[in-house]
Copies of this chain bind each other. A is one copy, B any other.
């Protein structure tokens, strides 16, 4: 049997409305009765039903985090951002719901979003990685005014609420650093090229080489899949294609690990023969051998920011129109031995 507000009211000899007022503080309640009510609440162990509250209040204090596919939680990026979101959610009194869109067609995605909407969530953090063609349904989602959505780690768009990390700038740091260390032939192992993150990092590689009068030879580009194995395979492919390679930019740390692994296997010395830079700066990167230079993304912070901004929109949205927010976080290069030239 669930203990309701009526139970409390009866025992405290007041009406249900008064109990509600005592609890929310929205209307004054005489101190004596308030005390009496609080006491009986404690005695009965009463806890307001959030479902019922949500029904009448028209909010749920739930934020939905939408991600895609199964493996992604295992990716450092996702769990790290999620941790940031969670921290802020706790602070602001939201519960977070994890939702998964499976399927790529517009229809399937719309259905998923509708189901989330059916939960009356207060807001959505859309952390589905952006791939080619996604823009279509993004527009469809956004066309509905409820609920507010923040797009996390997506390509900035002045019409959408976006919290993101500057991938171009991060990759530029990585490549510039390799050039500074004297590298002339720098290969890149990218993530899947239908992710915009991958594209941004690849563009930065190209541009940075060109600015420095080096040739962004297409044969130096290997498409990986974020997993260590693809770093391993990619490294072997690079070495086969060009023996003069003296630097490798792996677009995440797992793939960089595959690169280091291959170097060991082939008896190459890093950083003596080849310099390596990764991306993500996962906690383990500092303990690879040699310790890996990597681009730190502040994913935790981006998650926090996303929730903060969403909260803002939810709150102010009750009063007036809000304009799309844009927060682009700058990454930082963390230099370790894997990229320190030995003379």
Contacts and interface: CB of A to CB of B under 8 A. Distances in A.
Interface string A69-98: 011011010111011001100100001111
Contact of A96 (B45, B70, B74, B97): B97
Given A83-B73, A90-B102, A98-B98, A49 B288 contact: no
A260 B291 CA distance: 12
A252 to B, nearest CB: 11
A228 B284 contact: yes
A227 interface: yes
Contacts of A73: 79-80, 82-83, 86
Interface stretch (A112-120, A162-170, A186-194): A112-120
A195 interface: no
B47 A257 contact: no
B47 A118 contact: yes
Contacts of A71: 83
Contacts of A287: 228-229, 231-232, 254, 257-258, 261
Given A119-B51, A120-B51, A74 B80 contact: yes
B47 A51 contact: no
